[in-house]
Structure 1
Amino acid sequence: MSVHEVTAEGGPRERILAATTRLLTEGGEEAVSTRAVGAAAGVQAPTIYRLFGDKQGLLDAAAAEGFAAYLSDKTEVEPTDDPVADLRAGWDLHLDFGLANPALYLLMFGRRRPGTVPPPAAVAGFEVLATHIHRIAEAGRLRVTEERAAQLVHAAGSGTTVTLIGQDAGRRDTELSVLAREAVIAAITTDAPAAEAPGPVGAAVALRAALPGTTALTETEQALLREWLDRIARQ
């Protein structure tokens, strides 16, 4: 799904962001300049500087808008009874968004500057992924820690999407995404709940996921048990 541009009838900020997104879509980041954006949005350069600071601030705001659109797509999907199938669907949605919005996706995922704080929508998007992973852990089907699983899915999914964006659209090997997706899922999940496949790591991960639902332990006891379970799960 492509990012929906803000209507030109909005205020200066909305018009500037809509113009930035349009220029990104048509010509990539190189096409975005304060002069080009100002001309497309019908505003003067001082207005852009006042609202966004500089070109980088403008690009950061466009990335935040892109994350918001991406998050809207992600949260529209209703979960099913199969959390692993839901993770597959989320991966495919991520890829579809990137291929439909390549310039914006590369701005969002391809050039994060070290030390910068991700926009709130990016944090919320990762939380959606973490929720998928947590549901798999609750089902007893996660073979690594939730944190490691989420980081692996995020890294592999975004890396695969960036790779496919770089390929010629007419010869794009989308099977690469399927292979990467299934390899990651095989690395982090089991075919059956941990209770049916004995092993300390799977059992520790499943119990760690279920801890928030118990009231038998004090906060101190829960914290200590989480530490022990995390230690087992990292083996």
Structure 2
Amino acid sequence: MLKDLVYRGYMPSGRDRLLTAARSLLSAQPDREPSTREIYTAAGVGAPTLYHHFGDKDGLLDAAIEDAFGDYLSRKRMVPQTGDLLADFAAGWDMHVRFGVENPALYRLMYSANDGRRSSSAETAEKALREGLERLAAAGILTVSIDEAVAMTTATAIGCVTELVRTSQPAEAPVAHRMRDTLIAELSGGGDQVDDAAKAARTLLSRMPEVEQVMTSPEAALLGQWLRTLAAHFDQAASTPPHLKGHTE
């Protein structure tokens, strides 16, 4: 990669050369971190240049993660929002898994604790995830708390990426789609523990953009309110022990 840039007549700065070298070495040897010497030698600079720009190797690796994740965020912003909240959530999952599979070493570093501190990329990813889940909650589609949904989604995604990398499978492997669909079912009430009526209400809520095409805005707003109320009611009914139902209905 560095040779290509030089060949094209562009002489990158020492900082850029170090970032390029770190990413290249991590991609070539995803099972281990390159040494400080390996990185600055591959970049064609001296150790003082690395220390000047990044402080130490950990600072450089953090910056390499941010650099790669910035590419991912740029691609994600180009994915159009369909208005179907569950479909948009699924697209976000697919992008996340693809990034992890394409950058296994960087992904591992991104989600590994460094002195109890997470990378800013992981925090950015969680912020974007939380915003998507808040939209699901506002629409009445989410059946668990946002904090629980964040934890479930993050754990499932990391597990999925880890398994795909371990078994050398692509991001589009069937197991990734099944894990995604199972997660969405759990988050939106599609699991067996939720009453079918609640699931039906949430299914309609997830397709409100289509409904709004055949209704006036006040009608669609009223229907959405009714569906959210019904979903909450049937959720409560499904979670109430049989011997207590006579006291709650």
- TM bucket (normalised to shorter chain) is 0.7 to 0.9
Aligned counterparts of 1:85 and 1:179: Cα–Cα separation in 2: 14
Larger radius of gyration: 2
Aligned counterparts of 2:235 and 2:182: Cα–Cα separation in 1: 18
Specify whether residues 90 and 201 from structure 1 end up closer, same or farther in structure 2 by C-alpha distance, changes over 3 A only. Answer: farther
For 2:244, the equivalent position in structure 1 comes to none
Aligned counterparts of 1:159 and 1:103: Cα–Cα separation in 2: 15
When structure 1 is superposed on structure 2, of 188-197 and 19-28 the one drifting more is 188-197
Q: Which runs of 5+ in 2 are unaligned?
A: 190-198, 206-226, 237-249
For 1:189, the equivalent position in structure 2 comes to 188
Q: TM-score under structure 2 normalisation?
A: 0.69
TM superposition shift of 1:13? 0.9
TM superposition shift of 1:12? 1.1
Specify whether residues 201 and 118 from structure 1 end up closer, same or farther in structure 2 by C-alpha distance, changes over 3 A only. Answer: farther
Specify the SS of the correspondent of 1:156.
helix
What is the 5 A alignment of 1:205-224? none
Taking only aligned residues, the RMSD between alpha carbons, in angstroms, comes to 2.9
For 2:119, the equivalent position in structure 1 comes to 118
Aligned counterparts of 1:62 and 1:18: Cα–Cα separation in 2: 8
Specify whether residues 44 and 148 from structure 1 end up closer, same or farther in structure 2 by C-alpha distance, changes over 3 A only. Answer: same
Aligned counterparts of 1:116 and 1:96: Cα–Cα separation in 2: 24
**Are the equivalent residues in 1 in contact too, given 2:139–2:228 (CA < 8 A)?**
no
For 1:231, the equivalent position in structure 2 comes to none
Seq. identity, %:
34
The AA in structure 2 aligned to 1:95 is: V
Specify the SS of the correspondent of 2:32.
helix
Aligned counterparts of 2:25 and 2:166: Cα–Cα separation in 1: 19
TM superposition shift of 1:169? 4.2
Aligned counterparts of 2:234 and 2:67: Cα–Cα separation in 1: 39
Aligned counterparts of 2:172 and 2:82: Cα–Cα separation in 1: 29
**Are the equivalent residues in 2 in contact too, given 1:7–1:15 (CA < 8 A)?**
no
TM superposition shift of 1:53? 2.1
**Are the equivalent residues in 2 in contact too, given 1:98–1:105 (CA < 8 A)?**
yes
Match of 1:54 among 56, 69, 72: 56
**2:161 matched to 1:161?**
yes
Specify whether residues 151 and 73 from structure 1 end up closer, same or farther in structure 2 by C-alpha distance, changes over 3 A only. Answer: farther
String of CA shifts for 1:72-110, please: whole Å, max 9, x gaps.
22222221111111111111111111222222222223x
Specify whether residues 29 and 61 from structure 1 end up closer, same or farther in structure 2 by C-alpha distance, changes over 3 A only. Answer: farther
TM superposition shift of 1:141? 0.8
Aligned counterparts of 1:131 and 1:141: Cα–Cα separation in 2: 14
**Are the equivalent residues in 2 in contact too, given 1:91–1:181 (CA < 8 A)?**
yes
TM superposition shift of 1:57? 2.1
Aligned counterparts of 1:198 and 1:27: Cα–Cα separation in 2: 49
Q: Which runs of 5+ in 1 are unaligned?
A: 1-5, 204-235
Aligned counterparts of 1:198 and 1:159: Cα–Cα separation in 2: 30
**2:99 matched to 1:97?**
yes
Specify whether residues 201 and 18 from structure 1 end up closer, same or farther in structure 2 by C-alpha distance, changes over 3 A only. Answer: farther
Specify the SS of the correspondent of 1:10.
coil
For 1:230, the equivalent position in structure 2 comes to none
**Length, aligned pairs only:** 197
Specify the SS of the correspondent of 2:117.
coil
String of CA shifts for 1:5-54, please: whole Å, max 9, x gaps.
x9562211111001110111112263622222222212101111222222
TM superposition shift of 1:154? 1.5
Larger relative contact order, structure 1 or 2 (CA cutoff 8 Å, min sep 6): 1
Specify the SS of the correspondent of 2:135.
helix
Consecutive aligned runs of 4 or more in structure 1 exceeding 6 Å deviation: none
For 1:150, the equivalent position in structure 2 comes to 150
